[in-house]
Structure 1
Amino acid sequence: MAADHVVLFPFMAQGHLAPFRCLAALIRGCRPEARITVVGTTGTADSLRAQFAADGVGVHALAFDTSAGSTGSPQKLIDFFLAAESLRPAFHRFVPDLRRSDPGRDVHVVTDMFLASTADGVAPDDPGVTRSVLLTTGGYGAALYFSLWDSVPLVPDDDECFRLPRFPDVRVHRSQLTDHLVAADGVDAWSTFIRRQIAAFSRADALLVNTAEKLEPKGLSMLPQWLNNVPVFPVGPLLRAASSSSPSPEDTTTTTSPILSWLDKQPPGSVLYVSFGSQYTISASQTTELAMGLEKSGHRFVWVIRPAADVNGGGPSSGMPKGFEERMEAAGRGLVARCWAPQVEVLAHAATGAFLTHCGWNSAQESLAAGVPMVGWPLSAEQFYNAKTMAEEMGVCVELARGAGAVVTGDEVAEAVERVLGETSEVRAAMRRKAADAKEVIDAARDGDGDESSVVVMRGFLDAMARRRA
């Protein structure tokens, strides 16, 4: 692999770009002499260059082929996915051109799980090209999410639960399905798109998974038995380490963050951090009940509210009770922040005792990397199954609600907060011990040199890809 070329093709959403940036850094650490190129579009190339410049990574921009099905200005998430697939012809020209321009280097393509079909079959007759897929989720979340899509239309039993043909011991409740899955009939746009990705998974040379072997042994064992024994490499966790001076997307340093300044004044382990990520919002009525529950709980909190549109079509929510923010700030009990939050640093802060999260896999791993237990409110996609494994397998999460349409009361919020922060809560003590154990696993994967190290796993992947030409 000494002189090979690794081509990374991420889906253009922050939750997918962040793991790919960590993956690029991991590859650079394993193979300093390898050439690395990230593929984007003409519209995202400048942003990618800014993000990857410090890593010595090149950027190649593909133009959309409007004749291949691009929707022009996508309005819904599925439109973005379908538009991204229209990059397939350009990508299939790019890789052979790359080989011809530098024939001494083998090319190892790693695509995002939602772009797997875009790279499927590229340069099929060239033994110097390998094709792998990065699951930006964990193993368990990916196994359940994609196998459910592979089983549509879904037919519930009398308890409104679904059994997966490939995993008969796993039951999924209707409340753990996105609306897209509930409505899927196998020929709709979502079903056909996801099934194209699954077919590409099964033909890939390898699956890379954003997790660690000892963090998710069950999930990692499920993937190969489902996907025709495609080799699986747990190269995660693909996370940025906490730093007191890491730049934010808005070029603001964490040293000036009002959130961290407020946390500096709070007792150790006393604060609930609340954030639903950069792409999801809750409704006005849910916001009201969450605020009432936080106030009723009596515990300290930081609540980050992003003024971003929801990927499922919603907009920024209102619903904050009148005077709530002022009361909490005056009492020194709470901070409502409408700004970018340095999440890794917030979770690593000594004052942070728990995290109320939508259970996106990046957020979940960041929490575990800090040894912080969670209150789960999954909203979409595989978040339901991340919450499921963290609650049932890892014991590091208390599930508060499920889905964007969940009816949640202030009393339920207060009860959940008390369970994870209450001084006399037995649940809190057990969750903190298990979260500390998960932190040790993540530390060993990120910084160790044993077989569970992500560096060792990545080297194994690169060696395996190099051997395929022999």
Structure 2
Amino acid sequence: MAAGEPHFVIIPLLAQGHIIPACDMARLLATNGAIVTVVITPANLTRLHSFSTLISTSNLPIRLASLPFPSTAASIPDSCQNVDLVHSPDLFSNFFLAMSLLQTPLLEYLHGQHPPPTCIISDHFQPWGMNIARELSIPNLIFHGFSSFTLTAMLTIKNHKIYQSLTDVHKPFIIPGLPQPIETTKAKAPPFFYEEAPGFEKLAQEAIMAEDTCEGIVLNTCSEMESYFTQQLEELTGKKVYAIGPLPLANKDAASKAARGNKPSIDESQCLQWLDSMPESSVIYVSFGSITHTVAAQLIEIGAGLEASGLRFIWVIKESELMAAPEVGKWLTEEEGFEKRVEGRGMVIKGWAPQAAILGHSAVGGFVTHCGWNSVMESVSAGLPMLTWPHFADQFLNEKVVVEVLKVGVPVGIGKPIMYVFGEEMVVVGREVVEKGVKCLMECGGEGEERRKRVRELGEKVRKAVDKGGSSFENLIKLIEVGSKKLMKST
């Protein structure tokens, strides 16, 4: 490698599920000889206070480029700086416009950086990163928050023109080109969310162009989980795929695990002390990610199912859900309410939870998840089976990976996707189904034990993947070499 250090600029989608892996990736790159700049905005910088502290105390060469959010120019409230803060469907096109308007201030910022950038890694939903790379004459790579399986399935469905031929979005079909028959529907395997939405045509065209012209694709996965699908994705796209996950494993100590995402709404030591008092593998962790929105009736059914199961649990409810449904807060805390009835065996976290630390605790034995890919990777890394409860976007395809490909989860049985915040009619999953699902997840013998054994073995393999000599570590080194090309040319 030439003298000097490669300088990566990471441009994440402004959503917790994309910012968190971007920070994990930054930590991996910086730990292995690169300088990294992560592009964010002021409201998101506030959420990354713990990560900022970690950077300063560890002296990692990571810079957080906080650019003013162009709310006025995009006709969107300044408060809407993250996907989970955009509470109207009418504002999503404005939100993406605002992100694209970060190009000019980002270029100005980067022109003043020393050493200068040598590589851009832009989120698939930030395709304008290719313009920055072109202006600076450096490589551009695309980061996808999806699994190899999901990307491969989406591409093969698109290439076979199945989307165009289906008028019934709930009609089942077999995904073509896979090594095993896997059934889905158009609703459960949608095109990238903007491709058929009015007003997003320009973004879709730019995303396709960015994919066509990029130097490669970066994924939060590993060969030990998805070797076949990663190879298939390379064949379908003609691009090198850098599988460098599981990205959560970039955080090996308690401090860095606590620094992931937002500030926890509960003292981490209090939570871990509670877990310390529980038997091994006896606690269920229930969380549906940062942007799914669970309505009041469903929250109460989840709680009632957990209560009826008699099992130990930690249940995360978002602050926004409680604000939208004050009756749930009353149901939880009234004199003879839910929290009183489950006292000693159940904990409710209201807000952001230290998820990585919880999943890594020996007392936790299963994860009820929305199947966001970050959560799936965290669960596998911890060797935990999953009860799958997908909501929308790629989550139903991720469920297929968990349940049918890896066979490390059981489905709760969601029939149709729902959006996450806008109040559509939805079918509420009853307490009996919740109770049955969590009992199945925690089953000690038979299929339950086989699942647990498979995911424990898989967890051991993926943890080794990120160690020196592992598949993900080797891909990381190759990725850093892409960022070093500019240095080599200049010497």
Query: Structure 2 length as normaliser, TM-score?
Result: 0.80
TM-superposition CA deviations, 1:388-414 (whole Å, max 9, x none)? 111000111111033443442222222
After superposition, the Cα gap between the structure-2 partners of 1:289 and 1:100, relative to the gap in structure 1 and judged at 3 Å, is: closer
The residue that corresponds to 2:263 in the other structure is 250
Q: One-letter code of the match for 1:344?
A: A
| Structure 1, 291-300 or 230-239: larger mean CA deviation | 291-300
After superposition, the Cα gap between the structure-2 partners of 1:77 and 1:239, relative to the gap in structure 1 and judged at 3 Å, is: farther
Report if the CA contact (8 A) 2:5-2:484 is conserved: no
Structure 2 residue runs of 5 or longer lacking an equivalent are 81-85, 419-425
| Structure 1, 160-169 or 290-299: larger mean CA deviation | 160-169
After superposition, the Cα gap between the structure-2 partners of 1:209 and 1:293, relative to the gap in structure 1 and judged at 3 Å, is: same
Give the total of aligned pairs: 453
Name the SS of the counterpart of 1:341 in structure 2. coil
Q: Is 1:401 aligned to residue 434 of structure 2? A: no
Identity of aligned residues (%): 26
Of structures 1 and 2, the one scoring higher in RCO (CA 8 A, sep 6+) is 2
Matching of residues 198-237 of structure 1 within 5 Å: 198-227=208-237, 229-237=238-246
The residue that corresponds to 2:422 in the other structure is none
Structure 1 residue runs of 5 or longer lacking an equivalent are none
Name the SS of the counterpart of 2:37 in structure 1. strand
Name the SS of the counterpart of 1:239 in structure 2. helix
The residue that corresponds to 1:323 in the other structure is 337
After superposition, the Cα gap between the structure-2 partners of 1:213 and 1:12, relative to the gap in structure 1 and judged at 3 Å, is: same
Report if the CA contact (8 A) 1:281-1:316 is conserved: no
Q: Is 1:450 aligned to residue 460 of structure 2? A: no
Q: One-letter code of the match for 1:458?
A: L
Measured in 1, the distance between the counterparts of 2:350 and 2:37 equals: 35
Q: Is 1:417 aligned to residue 444 of structure 2? A: no
Q: One-letter code of the match for 1:436?
A: R
Matching of residues 37-52 of structure 1 within 5 Å: 37-41=37-41, 43-45=43-45, 51-52=51-52
The residue that corresponds to 1:350 in the other structure is 362
Q: Is 1:434 aligned to residue 447 of structure 2? A: no
1:436 to partner: Cα distance: 0.7
Name the SS of the counterpart of 1:223 in structure 2. helix
Report if the CA contact (8 A) 1:99-1:107 is conserved: no
Name the SS of the counterpart of 2:196 in structure 1. coil
Q: Which residue, out of 168, 171, 184, partners 1:172?
A: 184
Q: One-letter code of the match for 2:339?
A: E
The residue that corresponds to 1:129 in the other structure is 138
Q: Is 1:367 aligned to residue 379 of structure 2? A: yes
Measured in 2, the distance between the counterparts of 1:316 and 1:220 equals: 42
Measured in 2, the distance between the counterparts of 1:264 and 1:279 equals: 30
Name the SS of the counterpart of 1:38 in structure 2. strand
1:383 to partner: Cα distance: 1.4
Report if the CA contact (8 A) 2:190-2:393 is conserved: yes
Q: Which residue, out of 279, 304, 310, partners 2:291?
A: 279
The residue that corresponds to 1:139 in the other structure is 148
The residue that corresponds to 1:79 in the other structure is 91
Measured in 2, the distance between the counterparts of 1:245 and 1:256 equals: 11
1:430 to partner: Cα distance: 1.0
Name the SS of the counterpart of 1:27 in structure 2. helix
Q: One-letter code of the match for 2:5?
A: A
Q: Is 1:302 aligned to residue 314 of structure 2? A: yes
1:98 to partner: Cα distance: 3.7
Q: Is 1:35 aligned to residue 23 of structure 2? A: no
After superposition, the Cα gap between the structure-2 partners of 1:342 and 1:42, relative to the gap in structure 1 and judged at 3 Å, is: closer
Measured in 2, the distance between the counterparts of 1:139 and 1:4 equals: 27
Q: One-letter code of the match for 2:206?
A: R
TM-superposition CA deviations, 1:432-457 (whole Å, max 9, x none)? 111112211221122x22241x3321
TM-superposition CA deviations, 1:78-123 (whole Å, max 9, x none)? 8356534444455257448745875x756201112211x2212335
| Structure 1, 195-204 or 43-52: larger mean CA deviation | 43-52
Q: Which residue, out of 10, 13, 18, partners 1:11?
A: 13
